[in-house]
Amino acid sequence: MDNVMLARMIFGTSIAFHIIFATLGVGITLMILVAEIMRIIRKDEDYGTLAKRWTKGVAILLGVAIPSGTIVAVMLSLLWPGFMEIVGQVIALPFQVEIFAFFLEALFLSIYIYAADRLSPTMRIVSVFFVALGATASAVLITNAHAWMNTPRGFDLVNGQVANVNPLAAVNNPSFYVTSLHVVGSAYMTGAFVLASVAAYKLFRGGLTEREVTYHRKGLTLSLAIGLIMSVYTMNNGHDTAIMLHEHIPVKLAAAEGLFETQANAPLAIMGTPDPEAGRVVGGIEIPGMLSWLATGSTDGVVRGLYDYPQDEWPPLFVHTLFNVMVGIGSALFGLAVIFWALWFFRRKTNKPYPKWLLAGLVASGPLAMIGIETGWIFSCTGRQPWTIYGIQRTSEAATNSGNLGMLFFLFVSLYVVLLVLTGLVMHYYFNRNPVSKELQIMS
């Protein structure tokens, strides 16, 4: 296998591993903040207990997010030296500012966890607020660099040398706002659905006391309130992201939709496989005119197809599936949240338990959201291929020419597998040892 392929595999796996923990770090800290605020508004200690237990979980997750983030940050220089030479001269600012976001988060997290018993309630909220702010800021800042890779601005490449640098124009690139809003929205959404999953699982399994049921119901409704808001937001903003692709990176949108011919009245293809010979998606469902309407606001709008580009500039065509999975999950989760709230509304006078099928769906929602994050990111990065910096630097030009990559791939993949298993075990063991029933008893 060649070096570039190995470098892509190492980097892709590493970042796909980091994103699991990082996204939850962003999403769940928001939920902790919301719970701490609810506790004050409702004067209900159950929300304090929720916040405390979620913090426990987040502490474990961030303990893996931090070193895995360190890995990807250093690997960026190790595996993509050609890329980093340009980054260092053009888009170093978000990386630099991100450091301060990390400091903010690490400092306040240590304070919130190790000094919780010495803080006043206000200082606790202030500390979680800064943890959440730091996490969200890290997501926005790193997405800034990612958005710049998609829509690079702020420099020229003259004979392979960087010239006319304008770092602020680079930061202010056209896809930044819409992309970072999508990333943050989807992270909040994922945090909420993962916590909803946990509560739904407890209710689904049953065997709880009255007191525990009340507690888990509070967790479920709070998570699904945020979950509903964020899924509406993410879908809406995902639409804007697709319009951004239409305007700036049409080849990526064409690959996402499996559109070969440039045309007005372009159809939206759902699932199926794009077939370059046939020039269309085979085995999927086509909705005529829908893609034109989504991308341009009118069925007459012209959407560019893959045939407009030389074939060596096409992304791999399987990104169509990744894109469909992300959008499908977004719609499904929105549907679940709507059903839940409709049921909640009609049954608010009674105290009937939630139906099993709904709970089962909600148990699946957390893992589904995570799959949405993974497929969305892999779509975005792989859909940029063969470019690392779109239109400017090819992935093969960015990659290292060092040997030994095969061994490193093996080393890191085994590390990730072990850490995934261990983190799961630690969570399981900790929460089994300290069941919520104990905490609820102490309180009453």
Interacting residues with ligand HDD (CB under 6 A)? 150, 175, 179, 182-183, 186, 189-190, 234-235, 238-239, 241-242, 245, 252, 326-327, 329-331, 369, 372-373, 376-377, 380, 383
The contact mask relative to other proteins for 165-204 (x = CB under 8 A, - = no) is xxxx------------------------------------
Residue nearest to ligand HDD (CB): 238
Of ligand HEM, other proteins, ligand HDD, none, which one does residue 157 interact with (CB within 5 to 8 Å by kind)?
none
Q: Min. distance of Cβ 393 from ligand HEM in angstroms?
A: 9
Q: Does 433 bind other proteins (CB under 8 A)?
A: yes
Return d(Cα 400, Cα 286) in angstroms, integer: 42
Q: How many CA atoms lie within 13 A of 182 on its CB side?
A: 27
Q: End-to-end distance of the chain based on CA atoms, in angstroms?
A: 63
Smallest distance from the beta carbon of 240 to ligand HEM, in angstroms? 18
Closer residue to ligand HEM in complex, CB, 246/384: 384
Distance CA 71, CA 421 (A): 19
Strand positions, DSSP E, 325-385? none
The total of other beta-carbon atoms located within 10 Å of residue 164's CB is 10
Closest CB 342 distance from ligand HEM, rounded Å:
32
Rule CB under 8 A: choose which of 85, 212, 275, 397 binds other proteins.
85
Q: Give the containing element (helix H, strand E) for 302.
A: strand 302-303
Q: Which stretch binds ligand HEM (CB under 6 A): 168-176, 198-206, 384-392, 434-442?
A: 384-392
- Which of 65, 90, 259, 337 forms a contact with ligand HEM (CB under 6 A)? 65
Is 102 an interacting residue with respect to other proteins (CB under 8 A)? yes
> Alpha-carbon distance 84 to 77, whole Å?
6
Least distance to ligand HDD, CB of residue 278, Å:
24
Query: Smaller CB distance to other proteins: residue 166 or 236?
Result: 166
- Residue pair 320/328 in contact (Cβ under 8 Å)? The answer is no
Nearest to 259 by CA among 292, 300, 283, 296: 292
C-beta of 234 vs 393, nearer to ligand HDD = 234
Q: Which amino acid is at 111?
A: I
Strands (E), 100-237: 156-158, 161-163
Q: Do 41 and 47 contact (CB within 8 A), yes or no?
A: no
Q: Which of 363, 254, 262, 263 is nearest to 317 (CA)?
A: 254
Q: How far apart are CA 282 and CA 385, in angstroms?
A: 23
DSSP run (H or E) holding 9: helix 3-42
CB of 127 or CB of 231, closer to ligand HDD: 231
Please report whether residue 322 would count as binding ligand HEM according to CB under 6 A.
Answer: no
* CB distance 57 to 114 below 8 Å: no
Q: Is 59 in the site for other proteins (CB under 8 A)?
A: yes
388 binding other proteins? (CB under 8 A): no
Are the beta carbons of 231 and 262 closer than 8 angstroms? no
- 410 part of the interface to other proteins, by CB under 8 A: no
Task: Say which entry of ligand HEM, ligand HDD, other proteins, none residue 398 contacts (CB below 5 to 8 A, set by partner kind).
Answer: ligand HEM
> Does residue 398 bind ligand HEM (CB under 6 A)?
yes
| Distance of closest approach, residue 248 Cβ to ligand HEM, in angstroms | 17
How near is the Cβ of 285 to ligand HEM at its closest, in Å?
27
Question: Long-range contacts for 95-103 (Cβ within 8 Å, ≥24 apart)?
Answer: 95/141, 95/142, 95/145, 97/137, 97/141, 98/137, 98/138, 98/141, 98/142, 101/133, 101/134, 101/135, 101/137, 101/138, 101/141, 102/134, 102/138, 103/134
Q: Find the binder of other proteins among 13, 52, 77, 208 (CB under 8 A).
A: 77
Backbone angles phi, psi at 270, to 5 degrees: -110, 125
How many angstroms separate the CA atoms of 271 and 324, rounded? 6
Query: Residue 365 Cβ, how far from ligand HEM at the closest point, in Å?
Result: 20
Binding site for other proteins (CB under 8 A): 56, 59-60, 62-64, 66-71, 73-75, 77-79, 81-82, 84-90, 92-93, 95-100, 102-104, 106-111, 114-115, 118, 162, 165-168, 400-404, 408, 411-412, 415, 419, 422-423, 426, 429-430, 433
Which residues lie near ligand HEM (CB under 6 A)?
A: 8, 11-12, 15-16, 18-19, 22-23, 25-26, 62, 65-66, 69-70, 72-73, 76, 80, 83, 102, 105-106, 109, 135, 138-139, 142-143, 145-146, 183, 187, 377-378, 381-382, 384-385, 388, 395, 398
